[in-house]
Amino acid sequence: MRVFIGCSSLEDLSKESWLHCQKVIEVLAREQGVDLVLGGASSGLMKLCYEAFVQNGKAVLILLNATRENEQAQYPGAQVVIEKTTFDRTKRCFFESDFALFLDGGSGTLSEILAFREEVRATLRAYPIYFYNENHAFDAFKALLQDGVDRNTISLAEQTAYLEEVKTLEEVQEKIKGCIEKNKEGEMKCQN
């Protein structure tokens, strides 16, 4: 099964954030039967994901925008696919993976998490979406969703039905093992 990891491409995350995310990435990269889908891998946590999964002999699919086509050769050990636009890339990341884990990131990560959430809501696809919040990276995102609930622009059921916060490495491991079990039972399949 394949996990999409949405995360930052910036090199200057705080040391605390980097270390929190690094331990999650390393554990996932060693997890038996879990391969990786990424929307780029040139720097930051994205590069760390790519390197950890390749070093552990995992299949890695990197989807790039056409504007980054010149980066293809930078990713030995990975399959690289070029998509015309960011929208196309995000859509393909969703359909090429079985579940998503979002780590610290910026506007790209937030746009992906919302796009994935909306696709799950609209299609009712059995696709878990987790966001790792041990270091409170998603507190402002949670506040935004809560504001939508408070103003009746987002239903409380929608807020909680499609996204799940995980706060510890142990919770991440538990959720991944649950996804692996569901995948074995045929409850989760890539719909590409």
- Give the number of other Cβ atoms within 10 Å of residue 77's Cβ: 13
Q: How confident is the model at residue 108 (pLDDT cuts 50, 70, 90)?
A: very high
Which residues make beta-bridge pairs with 166?
132
Ranges of each domain in the chain: 2-184
pLDDT digits (tens, 9 = 90+) for 120-132: 988 888 899 999 9
The CB-side HSE value for 115 (13 A sphere, CA atoms) comes to: 17
Helix (H, G, I), strand (E, B) or coil at 186: coil
Task: Give me 166's structure tokens.
Answer: 């995980």
Considering only the C-alpha atoms of the chain, give the largest distance between any 2 of them, rounded to a whole number of Å: 48
pLDDT digits (tens, 9 = 90+) for 61-73: 999 999 998 888 8
State the burial class of residue 2 (Cβ atoms within 10 Å of its Cβ: 0-12, 13-18, 19+): buried
Q: Does the domain formed by 2-184 have CATH 3.40.50.450?
A: yes
Question: Which pTM does this prediction carry?
Answer: 0.93
pLDDT recorded at residue 105: 93
How many angstroms separate the CA atoms of 56 and 28, rounded? Answer: 10
How many angstroms separate the CA atoms of 4 and 69, rounded? Answer: 20
Angle at which helices 44-55 and 15-30 cross, to 10°: 30
How many angstroms separate the CA atoms of 189 and 182, rounded? Answer: 9
In the DSSP assignment, the letter for residue 61 is E
* Beta carbons of 117 and 4 less than 8 angstroms apart: no
